[in-house]
Structure 1
Amino acid sequence: MPTDTSERDDTDAAPDAALVALAEAHGVAASYWSFFGDHVQVPAGTLHAVLSAMGVDASDPAAGLARVEDDAWRRLLPPSVVVVQGAGELHVHVRDGHDVRLEIKLEDGSWRDLPIPWQQPRQRVVDGVALWRVRVPVPADLPLGWHEVYAQQIAHGEGGADADASCVLVVTPRRLDPPPSRPGYGGRAWGLMAQLYSVRSRGSWGIGDFADLADLASIAGDRGADFLLINPVHAAEVTSPIEPSPYLPATRRFLAPLYLRPEDIRESAYLSAADRARVDDLRAPVAASDDDPERIDRDAAWAAKRAALEIVHRAPRSAARALSLEAFRTAHGRPLEDFALWCALEEHYDGTDRPVEAWDIHSSLVADLRAQLADRVDFHVWLQWIADEQLGAAQQAACEAGMRIGVMHDLAVGVHTQGSDAWSLRDMYATGMTVGAPPDMYNQQGQNWNQPPWLPHALERAGYAPLRDMIRTLLRNAGALRIDHIIGFFRLWWIPAGIGADAGTYVRYDHEAMIGVLALEAHRAGAVIIGEDLGNVEPWVRDYLSARGILGTSVLWFERDGDRPLAPERYRTALLATVNTHDLPPTAGYLAEEHVTLRARLGLLEQPEAEARAQARAEREGMLAALRERGLLGPDASEEDVIEALHRYLIAAPSELLGVALVDAVGERRVQNQPGTDTQYPNWQVPLADSDGRAVLVEDLPGSARFAALARAVDEALRDRG
């Protein structure tokens, strides 16, 4: 059982050697090197809290360490094994006086024996029983996929099985293929980056949607773009208020119905005149805000859409459509049913106090509500089916417009503590823990993202199925996936409840297994993977990802060589290079020092405003000087000229992918997200607008000279270097 740390008085005490050893054995860092170069000793209280959340009894660390070492030997087979094709081995623990027989059930249903080579195995006595560790190589010719190993332990001289076990065996590709590109581009490609909710059209319901995504992809593809990177479209709340941040979703597996276009659902064509009029009436007030450049109102948009979608849901479906829905429901199984039930419970308890039993998916109350709310569960399952269809249509439109990659999704680091995943997969998450980041130069108190971390050993016991299913769903209708904070596949900063973010510690994950699963699902989908590896990331991690064919990321303003911009020729090849990111102002705003103005207005500056402006000005002038040195900028350059020159500068890099922010292509100046703020700034709620503050709609883009000029400059420069 977890250790009760409620009365411990070791919050700031240094841990003893036994506790350090126990923590490290479970992947918990007892010390680490800070961003500032200091070697930090993690307090004993933090180690006890983290171990307790993992279900580890740390009351006697020496005994706990012995249990860790013995537990692996007690298992005939490990919980799961993830290997690279052509390599890897399996550790089998056999009792003295016994033989073992191993078979593999391949993913295609066929069987094959797993031979055990002669060897001198290691021996250990556990619980008074002598055990042998047998190392079994995974056959080099085993195909990629999800297989199962079955073991029978047989006593000498007896014919029957004495004990048996099974485990998941995942065979993954050594390396993913490079990103595809158009002929004549030298194996490189460029694409647009957009916050989908902000990109509206005259058909929108006050917020960008999957129909707008399809149109934007067609426009970009026609101009030479090969991908369209969008914000995470994970599902959030289904009742108000809806969390604005796409990086704090309720689930990372299923899609936000907020992005549906009701009129594009096939059954909408068969509504009665009265129902059609009702849908039009629901849309009118929120559609009137499509030209409003000030703020996206998710709650109003979803209230109108949900009412309209309920009308369409009641419309009869053809036999073929009904079969398609049923097939989708069967394919996604219990996880879809549980997510839909969570949505129904959110509605059922909206505005009231939820009983404790309702937070337990295994309670009798939840079982009763599953039956009682069956109609609402059906509705939310249907919403996911429609979302899958409309997202698939967007990916098809991207490919038909010439894109070689198409839609590029973004995977958030984690989920909301009270969201669907944390509820339905409760055993997969650490209770009383959230993830974040340790102190750095930008956040000297550290960061708490208020997301529960996955339990490393729970993932291993589950055969990494939750990770597989999440990646597989996201790549179902996409050509690429960006992983936000990919270092989370290697380690995460855990913060025990009730203490500051600076008092947490790192917890290691099995990156070989997690990256392997990611690579396998990407290989099967023919998808490109990009890992956001900015910040405090060890160089070996970047090298490892590159060796597996996973691209990194770079942002122009962050790439420095001392006090000068880093020469683009020194950028990595396996990279998505961009001028900016959603946590920075658009380039026009950055050049105008609007990030300093905003931070000063919000009281976020940690230095005098004049000093901050001087630094921003020096950074800008240094970049402009670098552009002039390369002949990319004339003496009387306009703002648009500078933005084009910055992108041409990046094209001189060998990086395989180049991202162009849509905000830069229309002259927007406002940042989408101001780090360090919550309600002080409308984060993730800023509509797309031009340099004059006028709303820009999808229909405006084909006729926008500024948009066309930047797209043409990037496309021509990339082809010239091809």
Structure 2
Amino acid sequence: MSLIEQLAELVGFHASYTDAFGNQVYARDDARQALLAAMGYNIDDDAALTQSIVELKEQSWRKMLPPSHIAYSEEHDHYLTLSVKSDVADYISWTIETEHGESLSGNQTIADLHHLEYAKFDDAQFNKFNLKLPKLVDGYHNITVTLGDIVDSCPLIFAPKTCYSPQEVADFKMWGYAAQLYSLTSEKNWGMGDYGDLKQLIKNTATQGASAIGLNPLHPLYQNNPAHCSPYSPMSRCFLNTHYIDVTAAPNFDECKVAQKRVNSIAFKEKVIAVKSTELVDYVGVAELKYQVLEILFSHFIKQSNNDNHKEFDAFKASHGDDLLQHATFDALYEHFRQVDYNAFGWKTWPQAYQDPKSNEVKAFQQDNAERIEYFAYLQWLAHRQLKAASDTTKESGMPVGLYLDLAVGCDGSGVDVWSDKDVYVAGAAVGAPPDLLNTLGQDWGLTPINPVALQKQGYMPLVKALRSNMQYAGALRIDHILGLMRQYWVAPGMKADQGVFITFPLQDILRIIALESRRNQCVVIGEDLGTVPDGFGEIMQNAGLLSYKVLYFETWESGLFMRPEMYPELSMVTVSTHDLPTLAGWWTGRDLEWRQQLNLYPNEEMGVNDRQARISDRQNLIAALDDVGVIDMANAPEQSPATMNQELSLSVQKYLAMAPSRIQLIPIEDALEIKEQVNIPGTIDEHPNWRQKLPVSVEEFTHADSVVSLGKVMNQYRPKGSDNQ
């Protein structure tokens, strides 16, 4: 085995994997080398490689404590493994600082500890012992151990086994709608859906009996680059997207005369009409309108005397501390350097001194631009209070789940999370997915991966912050690409998406962290487990209390026949489609296959022909499945050739899924309205109108649309609120 192979194996890279087609794919040497270099290893010198290998092999012995330790709270006895160099000292002492500021301490002789194993190196012998820990409440603590002159500490986390369950939310099977927030149209908004529209959607759908509203990720995007609109490519997974602010709901909007004059001017109203009338969301036009008024409102806000709103804003800043300051500073720097150079998209294009958030130059910028940084913090406060208001509305409206939010798998490498914490990110590499049946060329998502070793050293706090940031508003959280918490597919810098390498992540520890945050926030967790799933992964998810993500299109046998509803697991969320897949109408009519052909997404013509042929039998199998369980009136079934969509099929499919024991069923609004075009086609950027399509029916009229009225009646028949729908 070469030095590169040895180092790659120790870091956690897989030598090979089995792809979706059953082929064994071996990692390329150049890919491993590039990824190791991106992680900071010196791969150009054999001596350096050898040293890195030795350090990795010996690190668990030479460091007294592990990078972090997670104790399983359901267990009776708790032990921490120590590594002790022989003949250093006979006694150890330890101190635990709990999350709530309490301090516990103890000491004992080495001879009294339970010996586990030993290792001899050239310079010394090391022994591993078990140190018994006191039982602590679930949470994030820290332990420091002293052995002679040696002092070491690590995060000590007590965490539960399972997440907050849907059975704890309600004793009946629930349903709701899934919406792309930007796509909402309304009488009030300024060209794209906003948090105010979300409140209206909640109120209206609650009257239908909906228990949840699912949303695209609401993570912050680049405020000064609104054309960057993919919600799955955020600059951070903490804080919120300020593009969604309902300007008219700002607390000082009605009393600010300058803002009122601007908004009521003929020129402004004409621009609002223009962006509302576009076929696709005009993110740049909408941003221009919103932020000019928000700047006016901020100027008015800071000139007001201290009132309840100021106290609320100050409390918001205090609760988010340095993280908010860092985020707002980044926004201000991004804006500043784009004014200098329009093409400065991200911190990597800034002068070297500003690429370090702790530099003297950044500190000076913060002092010189304090008011501008305050403005960006103000926008985050507005977004927070408006999404919190929407969340509160779900409770007031009797929605058991409420908001069902979405956590993206990672962050854009040019954003604030990577800028703020480069030690934990692997700059240059990208998270993606290997070739599969839908994406035969593989996928490079352009998201900067987290170094799993660095994540452990930081006590998993980057993940904790992302979970907390989203769970505070949500009754359910979908974690995109949950498989990435077990193993991630990394694409090396400059290499193609089908040349990636898998790397192992500490899944069991991460699941404990998710469970801890889930229970603290009383938030159900859904793991998006689509794609090639390793054997046993479903059982691992169920044991951790995560709901599986079941999509109708994929729930088939090898024969192509659809699985009956009772085959779906109870601990699952079921839906017809996702944002990356065709709508039901698009699937039935083959609109998605037309797009794939048009965009040259097939590696060869034969594959396109096979897909079109397969869709014919898929349609036949779906009708057969619907007929088998008695949810379709065959006299009203839609034509299959040529394929035409009708309401009978739309309602029958939702009935079919409603019969499943799955605790939650989500209906994409696009399916409720029988829309053909899908939200996003993976592997495309501008070739398809991804993340830009508007709904043809307004929020005000949505629950009055004929197809939606019929759907509401069906769902209340098959999944009524109450304990009798089991």
**Normalised TM-score (structure 1):** 0.91
Match of 2:82 among 78, 87, 92: 92
C-alpha change, 1:437 and 1:65, in structure 2 (3 Å) is same
Alpha-carbon separation, structure 1, partners of 2:401 and 2:168: 8
Q: Are 2:113 and 2:129, in contact at CA under 8 Å, matched by a contact in 1?
A: no
Map of 1:251 onto structure 2: 236
CA deviation profile, 1:567-611 (whole Å, cap 9, x unmatched): 221112211110111122221222222112222333334436665
Q: CA deviation at 1:83?
A: 2.7
- 1:232 maps to 217
Q: 2:244 and 2:15 mapped to 1: Cα distance?
A: 44
Q: Which residue in the other structure is 2:273 paired with?
A: 288
Q: Counterpart of 1:111? A: 103
Report deviation, 1:417. 1.6
User: Is the Cα–Cα contact under 8 Å of residues 582 and 672 in structure 1 kept in the other structure?
Assistant: yes
The aligned residue for residue 123 of structure 1 is 118
Tell me which of 664, 670, 675 is aligned to 1:668.
675
Question: Would you say the 8 A contact 2:636–2:648 is kept in 1?
Answer: no
Which shows bigger deviation, 436-445 or 486-495? 436-445
- Cα deviation for residue 463 of structure 1 reads 1.1
Distance in 2 (CA, whole Å) between partners of 1:595 and 1:444 is 15
More moved, 201-210 vs 595-604: 595-604
Separation in 2 of the partners of 1:437 and 1:114? 48
Q: Which runs of 4+ in 1 moved over 4 A?
A: 60-63, 114-117, 180-183, 608-611
- Structure 1's 42 and 230: CA in aligned 2 closer, same or farther, altered over 3 A? same
Cα distance in structure 1, aligned partners of 2:713 and 2:620? 26
Q: Are 2:692 and 1:698 equivalent residues in the alignment? A: no
The answer to whether the aligner puts 1:166 opposite 2:164 as a matched pair is no
Give, in whole Å, the separation in 1 of the partners of 2:555 and 2:711.
Answer: 22
User: Are the aligned partners of 2:190 and 2:276 in contact in 1 as well (CA < 8 Å)?
Assistant: no
* Aligned residue runs from structure 1 range 97-246, under 5 A: 97=87, 98=89, 99-113=91-105, 118-126=113-121, 128-139=123-134, 141-154=135-148, 162-180=149-167, 187-246=172-231
CA contact (8 A) 1:91 1:136 kept: yes
Q: Give the Cα separation in 2 of the matches to 1:115 and 1:403.
A: 52
2:681 maps to a residue whose letter is: Q
Match of residue 593 from structure 1 = 590
Question: Structure 1 residues 163 and 287 mapped into 2: Cα distance closer, same or farther (>3 Å)?
Answer: same
Matched, 1:52 2:51: no
Give CA-to-partner distance per residue, 1:635-677, whole Å, 9 cap, x none.
1236111111111111222111111111111222211112232
Partner SS state of residue 538, structure 2: helix
The amino acid of 2:20's aligned partner reads: F
- Cα deviation for residue 365 of structure 1 reads 2.7
Q: CA deviation at 1:103?
A: 2.7
- Match of 2:398, SS? coil
> Do 1:434 and 1:452's aligned partners in 2 also have CA atoms closer than 8 Å?
yes
Q: 2:59 aligns with which of 68, 71, 94?
A: 71
Q: Structure 1's 222 and 624: CA in aligned 2 closer, same or farther, altered over 3 A?
A: same
Pair 1:647–1:127, CA change in 2 (3 A): same
Contact 1:556 1:578 in 2 (8 A): yes
Could you tell which deviates more after superposition, 110-119 or 49-58? Answer: 110-119
Q: Residue in 2 aligned with 1:682?
A: 689
Conserved? CA contact 2:650–2:674, under 8 Å: no
Report the CA distance between 1:109 and its aligned residue: 2.0
1:469-507 CA distances to partner (integer Å, 9 max, x unpaired)?
111111112211101101111111111112212222011
Letter in 2 for 1:713: V
Determine the C-alpha separation between the residues in 1 that align with 2:597 and 2:681. 12
Instruction: Give the structure 2 partner of residue 80 of structure 1.
Output: 68
Question: CA offset at residue 444 of structure 1?
Answer: 2.6
Q: Which of 536, 542, 547 is residue 538 of structure 2 equivalent to?
A: 542
Alignment partner, residue 603 of structure 1: 600
Which of 494, 498, 501 is the equivalent residue of 1:498? 494
Partner of 2:561: 564
Once structures 1 and 2 are overlaid, which stretch shifts more, 550-559 or 711-720? 711-720
Task: Judge conservation of contact 1:125–1:131 (CA < 8 Å) in 2.
Answer: yes
How many Å separate the matches in 1 of 2:151 and 2:683?
54
Which residue identity is paired with 2:551?
A: V
1:616 aligns with 2:623: no
* 2:374 alignment partner in structure 1: 378
AA paired with 2:725? R
Q: Unmatched 5+ residue regions in structure 2?
A: 345-349, 639-645
Matches within 5 A, 1:343-354: 343-351=331-339, 352=341, 354=350
Task: Classify the secondary structure of the residue corresponding to 2:141.
Answer: strand
Partner of 2:408: 412
For residues 324-403 of structure 1, the aligned pairs below 5 Å read 324-351=312-339, 352=341, 354-403=350-399
Change (3 A) 1:182 1:176: closer
Q: Secondary structure at the match of 1:391?
A: helix
Partner of 1:158: none
SS at match of 1:681: coil
| 1:366–1:465 distance in 2 versus 1, CA, 3 Å | same
Q: Name the SS for the 1:344 alignment partner.
A: helix
The whole-number CA distance in structure 1 between the counterparts of 2:539 and 2:92 is 39
Looking at structure 1, the residues matched to 526 and 259 of structure 2 have their Cα atoms a distance apart, in angstroms, of 44
Q: Which amino acid aligns with 1:622?
A: N
RMSD of aligned C-alpha atoms? 2.1
In 2 relative to 1, CA 525–181 (structure 1 residues): closer, same or farther, beyond 3 Å? closer
Amino acid of the residue matched to residue 147 of structure 2?
Answer: Q
For residues 5-20 of structure 1, what are the structure 2 equivalents within 5 Å? 16-20=1-5
- Please report the TM-score for the alignment, with normalisation by the length of structure 2: 0.91
Report the equivalent of 1:5. Answer: none
Shift of 1:115: 7.2
2:65–2:152 contact (8 Å) kept in structure 1: yes
Between 1:254-263 and 1:220-229, the stretch displaced more is 220-229
Q: Which sections of structure 1, spanning at least 5 residues, go unmatched?
A: 1-15, 155-161, 690-695
Q: How does 1:575-594 map to 2 (within 5 A)?
A: 575-594=572-591
**Is residue 205–residue 283 contact of structure 1 (8 Å, CA) maintained in 2?**
no
Whether the 8 Å CA contact 1:209–1:259 is kept in 2: the answer is yes
Structure 2 residue 613 is the aligned partner of structure 1 residue 636:
no
2:260 aligned partner, one-letter code: R
Change in CA separation of 1:268 and 1:127 when aligned onto 2, cut-off 3 Å: farther
Range 571-580 or range 79-88, more displaced: 79-88
Q: Secondary structure of the equivalent of 2:512?
A: helix
Contact 1:172/1:517 (<8 A) preserved: yes
Secondary structure of 1:82's partner? Answer: strand
1:167 partner amino acid: C
Q: Residue 29 of structure 1 contacts residue 42 of structure 1 at CA under 8 Å; is this kept in 2?
A: yes
TM-fit CA distance, 1:392:
0.4
Bigger mean CA deviation after superposition, 261-270 or 126-135: 126-135
**Cα distance, 1:328 vs. partner?**
1.2
Residue 337 of structure 1 deviates from its aligned partner by 0.8
Q: 1:85 to 1:182 in 2, by over 3 A?
A: closer
User: In the alignment, does 2:664 pair up with 1:657?
Assistant: yes
* Distance in 1 (alpha carbons) for counterparts of 2:208 and 2:6: 58
Amino acid at match of 1:700: E
Question: Aligned partners of 2:72 and 2:169: how far apart in 1?
Answer: 30
Q: How far apart, CA to CA, are the structure 2 residues paired with 1:538 and 1:475? A: 28
Q: What letter is aligned with 2:217?
A: P
Q: Which moved more, 1:405-414 or 1:671-680?
A: 671-680
Contact kept? 1:182, 1:189, Cα under 8 Å: no
Equivalent position amino acid for 2:406 in 1: D
Q: Measure, in 1, the Cα distance between the counterparts of 2:40 and 2:448.
A: 15
- Code of the residue aligned with 1:500 in structure 2: it is K
What does 1:484-495 correspond to in 2, within 5 Å? Answer: 484-495=480-491
